[in-house]
């Protein structure tokens, strides 16, 4: 299963979800590859020293390196990483005029995907060529939506993009589900937002809701997933629950 985590809004927990879902799957003995497609490279920084990288996913997508050469091991058994750095911000310019630019990742991933049970793709908060590549390459999309007043703002644009990708480039792309993130169950606004999201996405909303948790925010700064940084925290329990829900699906 190849899962792209996408939402063009920033600050909704995309990278936090990518990091902790990948780690959760690995801890469940699933061979997992995390592909960092965000030029901010926060997924990469969590697991490896970015200064030690000679090859990144940018080199793969621009045809300068093979996919196998960019994959690095992490400290977590069963979890490998295809890292990124700021050079990825130049990708759109590099691929300008290439009529097959949105198929780059799909083509490159074909040879290595049979080696993994799960491939998780972290994306930037835009609907540009990078996110388009991730959607074309994926079998499923996971949408994190923040539990906030403007939660569904811009969601129509994302859903429209998904439908266009299905129609033109990847007819097999499925919505794995919507995960509600950064939720504060103590507030009326939080409860109202959850109800609103469930009204729109119905049974596609995961039962697991990711609560607002300071440990989740801190863990990347210490270059750890939540499972090693704060294994008894609410954040660890939430992401383990989400991992188990996804394992039941496929």
Query: Residues 3, 118: contact at Cβ < 8 Å?
Result: yes
What are the phi and psi torsion angles at 144 (to 5°)? Answer: -85, 130
Nearest to 32 by CA among 1, 84, 78, 82: 78
Nearest to 153 by CA among 6, 5, 4, 8: 8
Q: What pLDDT score does 151 carry?
A: 65
In terms of DSSP H, where are the helices of the chain?
14-27, 42-47, 57-61, 67-70, 91-94, 104-109, 129-137, 155-168, 188-201, 214-218, 226-229, 234-249
DSSP annotation string for 170-234? -TT-EEEEEEEEEE-TTSHHHHHHHHHHHHHHGGGEEEEEEE--HHHHHGGGGT--HHHH-TTSH
* Residues whose CB is less than 8 angstroms from the CB of residue 204 and which lie 6 or more positions away in sequence, other chains included: 175, 177, 178
Token pair belonging to 50: 């970015």
Q: What pLDDT score does 107 carry?
A: 93
Query: Residues 78, 31: contact at Cβ < 8 Å?
Result: yes
Question: What CA–CA distance (Å, rounded) separates 48 from 209?
Answer: 28
Q: What pLDDT score does 161 carry?
A: 85
Q: What pLDDT score does 199 carry?
A: 83
Extract the residue ranges of the chain whose pLDDT is less than 70. Answer: 149, 151-152, 154, 186, 189-190
Q: What pLDDT score does 94 carry?
A: 83
**In this predicted model, what pLDDT tens digit does every residue of 43-83 receive, in sequence order?**
999 998 877 888 999 999 998 999 999 999 999 999 999 99
Q: What pLDDT score does 219 carry?
A: 84
Residue 120 burial class via C-beta count within 10 angstroms: exposed 0-12, middle 13-18, buried 19 and up: buried
Question: What CA–CA distance (Å, rounded) separates 120 from 98?
Answer: 26
Tally Cβ neighbours within 10 Å of residue 125.
Answer: 17
Q: What pLDDT score does 106 carry?
A: 94
Tally Cβ neighbours within 10 Å of residue 80.
Answer: 21
pTM of the full predicted structure?
A: 0.93
Q: What pLDDT score does 36 carry?
A: 96
Query: Residues 82, 70: contact at Cβ < 8 Å?
Result: yes
Q: What pLDDT score does 211 carry?
A: 85
Nearest to 22 by CA among 225, 229, 228: 225
* Letter string b/e over residues 32-41, b meaning 16 or more CB atoms within 10 A of that residue's CB: bbbbbbbbbb
Question: What CA–CA distance (Å, rounded) separates 178 from 176?
Answer: 7
């Amino acid at each position: 299963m190849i899962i792209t985590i996408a939402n063009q809004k920033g600050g909704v927990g995309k990278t936090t979800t990518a990091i902790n879902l990948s780690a959760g799957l690995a801890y469940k003995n699933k061979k997992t590859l995390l592909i960092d497609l965000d030029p901010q490279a926060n997924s990469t920084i969590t697991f490896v020293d970015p200064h030690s990288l000679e090859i990144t996913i940018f080199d793969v997508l621009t045809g300068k390196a093979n996919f196998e050469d960019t994959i690095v091991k992490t400290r977590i058994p069963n979890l490998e990483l295809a890292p990124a750095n700021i050079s990825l911000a130049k990708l759109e310019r590099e691929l300008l005029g290439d009529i097959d630019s949105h198929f780059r990742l799909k083509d490159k991933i074909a040879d290595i995907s049979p080696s993994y049970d799960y491939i998780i793709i972290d994306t930037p908060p835009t609907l540009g060529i990078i996110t388009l590549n991730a959607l074309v390459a994926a079998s499923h999309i996971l949408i994190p939506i923040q539990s906030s007043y403007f939660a569904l703002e811009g969601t129509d644009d994302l859903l429209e993009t998904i439908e266009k990708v299905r129609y033109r480039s990847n007819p097999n792309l499925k919505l794995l589900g919507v995960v509600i993130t950064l939720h504060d169950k103590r507030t009326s606004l939080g409860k109202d937002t959850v109800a609103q999201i469930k009204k729109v996405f119905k049974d596609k909303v995961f039962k697991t809701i990711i609560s607002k948790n300071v440990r989740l925010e801190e863990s990347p700064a210490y270059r750890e997933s939540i499972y090693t940084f704060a294994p008894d925290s609410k954040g660890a329990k939430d992401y383990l629950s989400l991992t188990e829900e996804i394992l039941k699906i496929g």
